[in-house]
Structure 1
Amino acid sequence: MYERKIIDRRLLADLAKEVGLNASHLEALGESRQWEIAVDGDMLERLVDIQHRFERLAAMGDDEYRGFYIEVPRPTPEEWGDVEELIAFGEYDSREAFLADWLAFNSMETRWFHVASNRYVDSRSIRVTDRKRISFIITNDSKCTDAEPDNTWCRENLTRLFNYLQRMIDVVVSNSDGFNDYVAHNLPYQQRTGRIAQKVFNRIVPNFKIEVEDREMAIKALEESVHWHSAPLLETMTIRKYCTYYRIANEVYEAYHRKRGFRGRIYTDPQDVPEELRDVVYYKRKKFGDVMEMYDIYSPEDFMRFATDHYGELGLSRLNILASNVQPQGWKIVVSNSYSSNVGLAIEVATALYKAGTPLLIYDAEKLLKILLEEDYVRLLPDSFHNYMGYQEEGTVYELPWKYECSDDSNSVLTKEQYQAIVSNVEWQEVEKLRAT
C-alpha cells in the first residue's frame, strides 16, 4: 500500500520533479502531434500497465472511463532553455531578456490538465487536455498514418508522463477524499464550467450585452416566430426569389462586421444588369457561383437542385438563410444560427428580413428572445471557440481570462474588480469526483 499523505501543491509538484515532468512537456505533445499519438511495442506495454493501474479507481462512465486532474509545475528557466547558448547564438542579448520571455510564456507557477483512460474491446486510449488549447490522445488504435512516436523527444515525454501517472495513481488511491477536496478548492475557474444570470453578467461587463439597432422591431420579429406567426407564405420558391432574401441578409451581415472594424468593399450594383436580375448577380458575386449559367433561376425544380451544401451561409459564419417548404401551406425563409458568438448578428439579420415583409421562421427564436430581454444565463466554459448554441441550454457563452491577464489597464479584457465580481456570482458545477475501489 502507498503511504497515505496530505495532498497539497508541494506534494504534486514533487511527484512531477521526481520524473522530470513539467507543463512544457505536455504542451509539446499536444501542439506537435496533431492530437493523436499511436503507440506499440514497449510504449504500448506502458499504456496497458497504466490503464491497469487506473482500474484501482471505480469506473466513472462508459468504455471503462476513469479520469482525474493533475497539476504540474512550469519549467524552470534552466529547463526552458540554455540561456548562455541562446545569448551566444544571438537569440537574446542578456539573461534579463531571456527571463522576461520565460515568464511571459510561463506566467503561472503550475498548470492543470485532465487525464482520462478509456478502453473498448481492443481499443485503448489515454487522453490529456487542459480543456482549453492543449489536447492529445495516446492510443493503440490510431486513425492517423503519421502518428507514431518515432522521435526521441516524444518517447521521452511519454515516458515522463507514464512515470508520473504511475505515482499519481498511488497517491490518489491512498487518499481519494483528500485528492477530491484539493481539486475542488484549487482547480482554476478557467477550467471549470458554470453559469451566471445574463442580467448580472451584463451589469458587470456592459459591452457583452446584445444591442440591436431596432430593439422594438427585433422583439416583435422574435415573438411572432415563437408563436409561428409570419407574413403570408410563398406558393413557390425559385432561385430568383431566394436571392432577394439572401441579399437582404448578407448586406446586414457585412454592415455588422464593418461596424466592428472588419474591412470589406461595399457592393454596388452594376448598371448594365436589369433590375430583375440584380439580386441574382449579387448572389453570384458573394458565393462565387454562376447560378444563371447552371440553373433556370425561375424554375422551382431547379431551386431544389440548387439548394444544397452551404448555399445559404453568410460568409463563413454558420449563420444560414434557407428556404423551407412548410407543406402544404407554402415556403418560408429560415434564419438558422449555429455559433453562440453570432447571436446579435442573427437577431439583426432576422429583424431586417422581418421588416421586409418576409414569410419568416427564426430557429431558436425563444432562446434569442430571452437573450435580448436579458432573461437567459451565460455559460462559462474553458473553451468557447466555435461553440454551437445547441451545445448547452444557455444561448451565450464566455471564456474567463486568466486572473493575471486582468488589470485596470485600458487594454485589459477585464478589470480585477470585474473578474472578481464574475467568479463570485457564477453557479459553478461540482468538479468530478473519483473513488478508489
Structure 2
Amino acid sequence: MNGIKILDRKLLADLSKEIGLNASHLEALGESRQWEIVVDGDMLERLVEIQHRFERLAVMGDDEYRGFYIEVPRPTPEEWEDAEELITSGEYNSREAFLADWLAFNPMETRWFHVASSRYGDSRSIRVTDRKRTRFIITNRPKCTDAEPDDTWYRENLTRLFDYLQRMIDVVVANPDGFNDYVAHNLPYQQRTGRIAQRKFNRIVPNFKINVEDREMAVKALEDSVHGRSVPLWETMTIRKYCTYFRIANEVYEAYHRKCGFRGRIYTDPQDVPEELYDVVYYKRKKFVDVTEMYDIDSPDDFMRFATDHYGELGLSRLNIFASNDWQQGWRIVVSNSYSANVGLAIEVATALYKVGMPLLIYDAEKLLRILREEDYVRFVPDSYHNYMGYQEEGAVYELPWEYECSDDTNSVLTKEQYQAIVSLAEWQPEERVRSIA
C-alpha cells in the first residue's frame, strides 16, 4: 500500500469484494468437524506464510499471539443462492419471496469476526470467531492425535480467507491507529464485554429483576450462610435422609420452571407407597436409579457409595443439592449453583431448604445476596450460553440482542428505547489495540 488510506467501511467492503470473501464463507468454515480444520501441504504453506505476515504486528500475548477484528459483508442474493433455479424448481414462487428469505438469514449488512494467530513450537494455528456462535481453528497439530488433514472440503474458502488476511494485514500495518479507532467506534456492542449497575439495568428491564416468593426468608438464609451460621450439623448421612431434601429442592425446581413457562415430563405422585419410602421412590422416579435395590438406604457407608457423579443435580441445570461432611462437626446439605442463568432458582431452592430447619451451606451466598439486593452489576457478554458464575466477578450476565431484533412489538426482547438506554449507560471494556512493528 502506498501511504495511509482512510480506514472506513467502504475500504473494508471493497477489499472483501476484491477477494470474494463474505460472511457465509466464514460460517461454512465454522461448520467444520469439531471446529478444527487440519491442514498440510500447500495449505500449511499458506498458513505459515500468513503467520509470517502477522509478525509485522507486535506480540499481544503468550504463544506469539497476535489478533485483530475483521468486518466482512453479508453475501449478496446472487452469492447466497441461485434464485432463478429455486423459483424454477418451485421452492420459491417469486423473487420477492426469495429476497425475503435472504434478508431473514442475512439481516446485517456486515459481520465482525476476530482472527488470532498463535504458535507454540511446531504447532501453528489461526482461530476465527464471532465470539458468539461461529468459531473454528485452522491448525497443523490437531487436538486429536489420530486426526488426518481434512482441508479438501474447505480449500476454496480457506484460500479466500488466506488471500483476505494477506491484504488485511497490509491495511492494519499501514494505519494501526486508524484501524484501532475504527474498531473502537464500530464493533457491535453484542460482541463486546461491559457491565452496568444491576439497579440501573433492572430499572430499564424490570422483568430481569430477581423476585422471590419469600424475600425476607431468602435474605436471612443467604446472610446466615455468608456468616457461617447454621443449626447443628448431623452426625451421619443416609440415602433415606438425603432423598427427603432432594425432593424438597426438586419440587421447587419444577414449580419454578412451570412458572417460567417451561414444560417437561409430568410425574404423578407414587401411589401405595409407605410414607417412610415416599422420598426414596420420588428420587428413583426423577433420577431413574432404584436405590432400594442397589443400596442399604439406612447405611452411612452405602451413602458414600451412592453419592457420586451427578446424584444431586436438579434436572440438567447444574444446580446441585449434595451432602457435605465436615469431619470435625458433621453433615450438612449444600446448594451449589453453576450457571448465572439459575440465580433466581438457586435462591428459591436454598430458601425452601432453609425453611425446613436443616444444616445448610449456600455456595456463592454473598454474590447471590448482592444480586437479590440489587447491589451487584450485570455483565454483558457476547455468549451467555452455559455461563458459569465463577467466570466473572458479576453474578448476573446478559447477552444483548442485535439491534435489528429490538422493536416496540410485544414479542421483542427489548424495545429500541431500552436497548439505547442500556448501551449508553453501560461501562464498556476497551478493545485490545494492535501495534505495528514494520
After TM superposition, give the deviation of residue 276 of structure 1 in Å: 1.0
Q: Is the 8 A contact 2:32 2:136 kept in 1?
A: no
After TM superposition, give the deviation of residue 265 of structure 1 in Å: 5.5
The farther-off stretch of 11-20 and 255-264 is 255-264
The farther-off stretch of 41-50 and 4-13 is 4-13
After TM superposition, give the deviation of residue 297 of structure 1 in Å: 0.8
Q: 1:2 to 1:167 in 2, by over 3 A?
A: farther
| 1:59 counterpart = 2:54 | no
The farther-off stretch of 191-200 and 262-271 is 262-271
After TM superposition, give the deviation of residue 260 of structure 1 in Å: 1.6
- Rounded to whole Å, the distance in 1 between the matches of 2:215 and 2:284 is 32
Q: Is the 8 A contact 2:44 2:140 kept in 1?
A: yes
- One-letter amino acid matched to 1:160: R
C-alpha RMSD of the superposition:
1.2
After TM superposition, give the deviation of residue 389 of structure 1 in Å: 0.3
After TM superposition, give the deviation of residue 326 of structure 1 in Å: 1.4
* Counterpart for residue 321 of structure 2: 321
After TM superposition, give the deviation of residue 150 of structure 1 in Å: 4.7
* Counterpart for residue 99 of structure 2: 99
After TM superposition, give the deviation of residue 82 of structure 1 in Å: 1.2
After TM superposition, give the deviation of residue 90 of structure 1 in Å: 1.2
- Rounded to whole Å, the distance in 2 between the matches of 1:66 and 1:172 is 12
* Counterpart for residue 167 of structure 2: 167
- One-letter amino acid matched to 1:245: Y
Give the SS at the match of 1:212. coil
- Stretches of 4+ aligned residues off by more than 6 angstroms: none
- Rounded to whole Å, the distance in 1 between the matches of 2:204 and 2:262 is 27
- Rounded to whole Å, the distance in 1 between the matches of 2:162 and 2:188 is 24
Give the SS at the match of 1:289. coil
* Counterpart for residue 396 of structure 2: 396
After TM superposition, give the deviation of residue 33 of structure 1 in Å: 3.6
1:24-79 Cα deviation digits (max 9, x unpaired): 10011112443110000000000000001001101100111000000001111111
- Rounded to whole Å, the distance in 1 between the matches of 2:338 and 2:25 is 35
Give the SS at the match of 2:229. coil
* Counterpart for residue 252 of structure 1: 252
- Rounded to whole Å, the distance in 1 between the matches of 2:161 and 2:3 is 21
1:298-339 Cα deviation digits (max 9, x unpaired): 111111111110000000000000100012111110000000
- Rounded to whole Å, the distance in 2 between the matches of 1:269 and 1:90 is 52
Give the SS at the match of 2:68. strand
- Rounded to whole Å, the distance in 1 between the matches of 2:325 and 2:63 is 42
* Counterpart for residue 30 of structure 2: 30
Q: 1:147 to 1:85 in 2, by over 3 A?
A: farther
Give the SS at the match of 1:385. coil
- Rounded to whole Å, the distance in 1 between the matches of 2:271 and 2:100 is 59
Which ranges in structure 2 are unaligned for 5 or more consecutive residues? none
1:96-154 Cα deviation digits (max 9, x unpaired): 111111111111111000000010111110000000000000000113566743545x1
* Counterpart for residue 233 of structure 2: 233
After TM superposition, give the deviation of residue 258 of structure 1 in Å: 1.0
1:117-266 matches, cutoff 5 A: 117-144=117-144, 148-152=149-153, 154-264=154-264
Q: Is the 8 A contact 1:36 1:147 kept in 2?
A: no
- Rounded to whole Å, the distance in 1 between the matches of 2:90 and 2:162 is 36
Q: 1:265 to 1:157 in 2, by over 3 A?
A: closer
- Rounded to whole Å, the distance in 1 between the matches of 2:93 and 2:375 is 55
Q: Is the 8 A contact 1:33 1:147 kept in 2?
A: no
After TM superposition, give the deviation of residue 259 of structure 1 in Å: 1.2
Q: 1:403 to 1:394 in 2, by over 3 A?
A: same
1:344-359 matches, cutoff 5 A: 344-359=344-359
Identity %: 83
1:236-267 Cα deviation digits (max 9, x unpaired): 01111111111110010011111122224654
Which ranges in structure 1 are unaligned for 5 or more consecutive residues? none
- Rounded to whole Å, the distance in 1 between the matches of 2:327 and 2:238 is 16
- One-letter amino acid matched to 1:407: S
- Rounded to whole Å, the distance in 2 between the matches of 1:56 and 1:195 is 34
- Rounded to whole Å, the distance in 2 between the matches of 1:429 and 1:263 is 38
TM-score, L = length of structure 1? 0.98
Q: 1:21 to 1:266 in 2, by over 3 A?
A: closer
- One-letter amino acid matched to 2:366: E
- One-letter amino acid matched to 1:219: V
- Rounded to whole Å, the distance in 2 between the matches of 1:265 and 1:404 is 36
